[in-house]
Amino acid sequence: MINFFKYTMQSENGAARSLAVPAGVMFFLMLITLFTVSLTLIAAQTESPTVEESTPEVPAVEPIPDEFMPVYTEAAEAYDVPWEMLAAIHRVETSFSNADPMVSEAGAVGHMQFMPCTWTGWSHPSCENLGEGDIPEDVQTDPEAIATYGGYGVDASGNGKADPFDIEDAVHSAAYYLAANGMADGAEEEALFVYNQADWYVEDVLHYAEVYSEEAEDAELVSAEQLP
């Protein structure tokens, strides 16, 4: 016995007509419909979505001013730290001493942006919190006072003062600080993080240092090729 499904459709003149469709045919039509819908859904799911790849922002690299290179290399040799790290810090901190003024909102001072208490020494009575302190200038630049308070300021220029606004003193002091915090032993990232406790800062300095190192190597190759 064949079962029939009653199917009602509307004719062109609007009259309703009833058709008897065998159950097997109706079942077959339903299977085809389900199969078509399934294929459509699968195709939609397997299409590759359009993804906009975000490119991380890379800091622009400024060339190193020629007058600073001897200072970097001398300080690097004195404290056994990479010169390119000093150049990179100088770039990040004050854009090669182009910051005006060279005093940050937090109170960091000079070419390499030392907090006064780090420069003079944290055992100074006024040193607390972030290290801005209340240190008279004659004390802050006195090598003997700095030695007494355990600071990192260095009189590299030999004028009797350890001045964070003197480029030689500032760069040598930065080299001394980095070396004392592990860079001389190869702990570059750790030393940079002590210098400024921010991951973005460490990444930026490492980026600049790598570029400056590569540029120096390329320049050496060019010079060697030009030799007779």
Q: Which of 4-13, 51-60, 125-134 has the lowest mean pLDDT?
A: 51-60
Question: What average pLDDT does range 81-110 have in this prediction?
Answer: 97
Same domain, 152 and 194: yes
Q: How many domains does the chain have?
A: 2
End-to-end CA distance of the chain: 106
Q: What is the reported pLDDT for 218?
A: 74
Q: What is the reported pLDDT for 1?
A: 54
Q: Between 188-195 and 83-94, two packed helices, what is the crossing angle to 10 degrees?
A: 30
Give, in order, the Cα–Cα distances in Å from 69 to each of 49, 87, 163.
Answer: 50, 8, 19
Q: Which amino acid is at 4?
A: F
Same domain, 71 and 35: no
Same domain, 20 and 94: no
CATH number at residue 76: 1.10.530.10
Q: Which domain holds residue 206?
A: 66-214
